[in-house]
């Protein structure tokens, strides 16, 4: 597998939104300013691609991902709800990842494109989880910035609580070469180390083994640095940050990952995992993850062929 991929060049087209097929499933493509784009599948309201104006794909999507709805799509930004991982009796990461969402809003201006996808409870979800709910995921693309806002509405007559995450798979050239800043001094629980709670004391996190950490009550934004590339990551009202890389052996055990998939991804997830959120009857909750792309420094090469 070759990374990175340069798939488009900056252009002056106005932002627009199109209905497309992506890997055989129904999706929207948001074309943003300066050649940026995002693809959002109706299945799971899952963002599957984010290309920045330098033509670079910023999200990891497995070459072996399955798109038939039988399992969650491996990569992009899955919405995990109303349960994070195995923190309860529901299917792992909840049940909205594999379900069909409706497109309920699309808008564009000179410097953005935006779409909202929604899903509500039905007989099948109530058989698993006995609550009325409405979820809305709003995806807003600007030139160098992607915002995902999850709105959880409780239209029922009783309070409910949830855990969950925007399970963002970032694409990296080589995970051993990246460093993640911003988690210094926070406690984390690492499922790859027997769920031990540890305080992070390094100024930056590097990945050199299986890592599956829930950092609790994170107050600072994160910065992912990889050579001359960087990515700013900020969340609002998602209290925790999850950092996941399966490394070699766990990756080999995942049927929908290529053998070297672990090397080209790092999940940095906006999550509520440590303490569930209670949504009182008739109220709503909002959480957001923002990704801001940084660039290679372009060297100016004088053109001596011109007079
Ligand atoms: O968010 C990290 C995590 O919970 C890991 O433990 C790992 O299993 C990952 O999610 C992927 O889960 P999935 O159900 O998509 O295979």
The fraction of the chain above a pLDDT of 90, given in percent, is 88
Look at residue 6 and tell me whether its pLDDT is greater than 60: no
Pick left, alpha or beta for residue 91 (phi over 0 → left; psi -120 to 50 → alpha; otherwise beta): beta
Question: Alpha carbon 127 to chain centroid distance?
Answer: 28
Q: 82: cis peptide before it, omega within 30°?
A: yes
Residue 93 Cβ contacting ligand 1 at under 6 Å: yes
Look at residue 201 and tell me whether its pLDDT is greater than 90: no
Distance 253 CA to ligand 1 centre (A): 12
Q: Which pLDDT value is given to residue 12?
A: 65
pTM of the model as a whole: 0.93
Q: Which pLDDT value is given to residue 307?
A: 41
**Confidence tier at 229 by pLDDT (50, 70, 90):** confident
Q: What strand order describes the sheet that includes 284-293?
A: 102-109, 112-120, 134-141, 145-153, 284-293, 229-236, 222-226, 179-181, 204-206
Concatenate the DSSP letters of all residues of 245-280 into one string.
Answer: E-HHHHHHT-TTS-TTGGGGEEEEEEEEEEEEEEE-
Q: Which pLDDT value is given to residue 300?
A: 53
As a whole number, mean pLDDT of residues 252-280 equals 98
Distance 85 CA to ligand 1 centre (A): 6
Look at residue 245 and tell me whether its pLDDT is greater than 60: yes
Calpha distance 153→285 (Å, rounded):
7
Distance 93 CA to ligand 1 centre (A): 8
Angle at 178 between CA 164 and CA 223, to 5 degrees: 60
Query: Which ligand 1 atom is nearest residue 86's CA?
Result: 4
As a whole number, mean pLDDT of residues 170-178 equals 97
As a whole number, mean pLDDT of residues 166-183 equals 97
Q: Which pLDDT value is given to residue 304?
A: 47
**Confidence tier at 296 by pLDDT (50, 70, 90):** low
Give the residue whose CA is nearest to atom 8 of ligand 1: 85
As a whole number, mean pLDDT of residues 258-287 equals 98
Query: Which ligand 1 atom is nearest residue 84's CA?
Result: 4
Look at residue 156 and tell me whether its pLDDT is greater than 70: yes
Q: Which of 112-126, 146-160, 282-296 has the lowest mean pLDDT?
A: 282-296
Query: Which ligand 1 atom is nearest residue 191's CA?
Result: 6
**Confidence tier at 228 by pLDDT (50, 70, 90):** confident
Residue 242 Cβ contacting ligand 1 at under 6 Å: yes
Round the average pLDDT of the chain to a whole number and report it.
93
Half-sphere exposure of 184 (CA within 13 A, CB side): 7
Distance 18 CA to ligand 1 centre (A): 31
Concatenate the DSSP letters of all residues of 162-214 into one string.
Answer: EEEEE--EEE-S-GGG-EEES-TT-EEEEGGGTTEEEE--SSEEE-SS-EEEE
Q: Which pLDDT value is given to residue 11?
A: 54
Ligand 1, pocket-test mutation among 167, 241, 262, most atoms within 8 A of CB: 167
As a whole number, mean pLDDT of residues 175-192 equals 96
As a whole number, mean pLDDT of residues 50-60 equals 96
List the one residue out of 203, 272, 188, 210 whose CA is nearest residue 238. 272
As a whole number, mean pLDDT of residues 98-125 equals 98
**Confidence tier at 227 by pLDDT (50, 70, 90):** confident
Q: Which pLDDT value is given to residue 297?
A: 55
Calpha distance 33→175 (Å, rounded):
29
């Amino acid at each position: 597998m070759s990374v990175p991929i340069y798939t488009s060049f900056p252009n002056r087209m106005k932002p627009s939104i199109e209905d497309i097929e992506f890997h055989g499933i129904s999706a929207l493509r948001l074309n943003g300013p300066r050649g940026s784009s995002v693809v959002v599948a109706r299945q799971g309201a899952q963002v599957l691609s984010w290309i920045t104006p330098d033509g670079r794909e910023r999200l990891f999507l497995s070459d072996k991902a399955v798109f038939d709805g039988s399992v969650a799509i491996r990569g992009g930004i899955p919405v995990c709800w109303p349960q994070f991982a195995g923190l309860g009796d529901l299917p792992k990461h909840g049940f909205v990842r594999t379900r069909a969402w409706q497109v309920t809003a699309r808008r564009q201006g000179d410097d953005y494109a935006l779409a909202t996808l929604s899903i509500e409870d039905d007989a099948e979800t109530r058989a698993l989880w006995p609550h009325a709910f409405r979820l809305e995921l709003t995806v807003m693309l600007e030139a160098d910035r992607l915002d995902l806002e999850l709105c959880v509405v409780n239209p029922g007559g009783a309070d409910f609580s949830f855990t969950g995450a925007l399970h963002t798979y970032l694409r990296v050239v080589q995970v051993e070469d990246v460093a993640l800043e911003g988690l210094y001094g926070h406690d984390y629980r690492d499922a790859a180390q027997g769920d031990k709670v540890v305080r992070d004391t390094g100024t930056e996190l590097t990945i050199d083994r299986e890592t599956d950490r829930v950092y609790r009550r994170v107050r600072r934004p994160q910065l992912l640095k990889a050579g001359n590339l960087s990515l700013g990551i900020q969340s609002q009202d998602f209290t925790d940050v999850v950092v996941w890389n399966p490394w070699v052996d766990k990756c080999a055990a995942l049927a929908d990952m290529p053998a070297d998939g672990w090397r080209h991804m790092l999940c940095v997830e906006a999550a509520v995992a440590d303490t569930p959120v209670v949504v009182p009857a008739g109220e709503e909750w909002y959480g957001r993850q923002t990704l801001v792309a940084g660039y290679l420094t372009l060297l100016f090469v004088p053109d001596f062929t011109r007079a």
